[in-house]
Amino acid sequence: MSTTEAPRRRRRGGRAGQGSWWAGAPGLVFLIALVLAPLVIIVIYSFLNRAKLGVGVKWTFTVQPYVELFYSESLSGEKSFDPVYLQILLNSALYSLVTALVCLALSVPIAIWIATRPARWRTALVFLVTIPFWTSLLIRTYAWVIILNDNGPINGALTGVGLLQQPIPMLYTPFATTVGLVYSFLPFMILPIYASAERFDFRLAEAAYDLGATRLTVLWRIVMPAIRPGVIAGLILVFIPALGSYLAPELLGGGKTSMIANVIAAQFGASRNWPLGAALSVMVLVITMLVLVAFAVVTRRSSRDGNRQQLESFL
C-alpha cells in the first residue's frame, strides 16, 4: 500500500461516517421533538403549582403534586396518608398482569400451531393475526360494547336457547375491561412468540416424544426455553401498554374499573389539575422504566444460564 492511499481511505471513511450520521438525523430530530420534549415538559409541569383558575400551571417551583400522590389535606389543613392513587396504580398493574398472562396462555398454542403449518400457509395466518390493526382501536372497542351489552349477541344467544332466563351483566364490569385489554394486545403477544417458534427445530420435540416424554414435558423442557425470547418480548409489549390503557376501562369498564390512565386524563381534563396529572405520569414513567430494567436483568440472566448449560453439556 502506498503512502498516499491510507490518507485517502481515512478521508473516505470520515465522509462515510458523516453521511451515516446525517442519514440518522431526521430520526433523531423526530425522537427529540415528539418523544423527549413532551417528557421534559411533563416532568417540568410536575414540579409546578396549579393555576388559581384551574387552567394551566403557575410557574413557581414546588413538590406539592408529589405530596398529593400520598397525602390528602382536610378542610382544617391537616394532612393524612391517602393510598387512593397507590391503589389505582396497583389496580392498573394487576389488570396489566392478568392481561399479559391471559395473552401468554392464548398466544403460545396459537403461535406454535402457526409455526408448525406448511410454509405456504404461515404468511396467510400471520396476515390474519394482523387484520385487527386495519381498524381503529376505538371502533373495535365500541364493537365490544355491542357484543357485551345486555341485548348483545352473547346474551341473546344464551337466552334464546334457554340457558339463561335473564341476561348476564357483562358490560361495565372488570370482566369487560379484561376482555377489551386482552383483545387489544393479543396480537402483540402472538407475533414475537411466533417469530421465535418459527426458528425452532420441531424435530427435537419429535425426538423427545420418541424417547417417552409427555406433551407437558416437551412443552416445558424443550419448546418453552427455545421460544423464551419471544415470550419475554411479548410480555413487555403487552404489560407496559396495558398499564397505560385508556379506552378499555373507559368504554367497557364504564368508569367502574379505574386505571391510572383514566385518572391522569381526568386530572388534565375535568379536574384541571395539570401538575398532579403530570406527577402521576412521571410515576407511571418511573415504574415503566423499572419494569424494563427488571425484564432486561431477567433476560440477561436467563441467556447466561442457557449458555452455561450448553457449555456444560458440551464438556
pLDDT at site 183: 94
d(CA 30, CA 49): 30
Pick the more confident residue, 106 or 5: 106
Section 38-66 average pLDDT: 86
pLDDT at site 310: 45
pLDDT tens for 67-99 read 888 888 777 777 888 888 889 999 999 999 999
Section 265-276 average pLDDT: 87
> Would you say residue 302 has pLDDT above 80?
no
Pick the more confident residue, 61 or 21: 61
Section 14-29 average pLDDT: 69
Q: Which 3 state secondary structure label does DSSP give 257?
A: coil
pLDDT at site 311: 42
pLDDT at site 305: 59
Average pLDDT over all residues of the chain? 84
Pick the more confident residue, 251 or 27: 251
pLDDT tens for 185-230 read 999 999 999 999 998 888 888 888 888 888 888 888 888 888 888 9
pLDDT at site 165: 81
Instruction: Give the gyration radius of the chain's Cα atoms.
Output: 26
Q: Of 27-31, 131-135, 268-272, which has the strongest mean pLDDT? A: 131-135
> Would you say residue 26 has pLDDT above 90?
no
d(CA 12, CA 6): 10
pLDDT at site 105: 94
pLDDT at site 272: 85
pLDDT > 70 fraction of the chain, expressed in percent and rounded: 88
> Would you say residue 315 has pLDDT above 50?
no
pLDDT > 90 fraction of the chain, expressed in percent and rounded: 31
pLDDT at site 15: 55
> Would you say residue 179 has pLDDT above 80?
yes
Q: Which CATH superfamily is 85-314 part of? A: MetI-like (1.10.3720.10)
Question: How is the chain split into domains, by residue range?
Answer: 1-43, 85-314
Reading phi first (left if > 0) and then psi (alpha if -120 to 50, else beta), residue 61 is in beta
> Would you say residue 12 has pLDDT above 80?
no
CA distances from 191 to 69, 153, 239, 245, 269 (A): 37, 29, 15, 20, 36
pTM of the model: 0.82
Section 270-295 average pLDDT: 88
Residue 7 pLDDT grade (very low, low, confident, very high; cuts 50, 70, 90): low
d(CA 208, CA 215): 9
pLDDT tens for 95-120 read 999 999 999 999 999 999 999 888 88
Section 12-27 average pLDDT: 65
d(CA 294, CA 300): 10
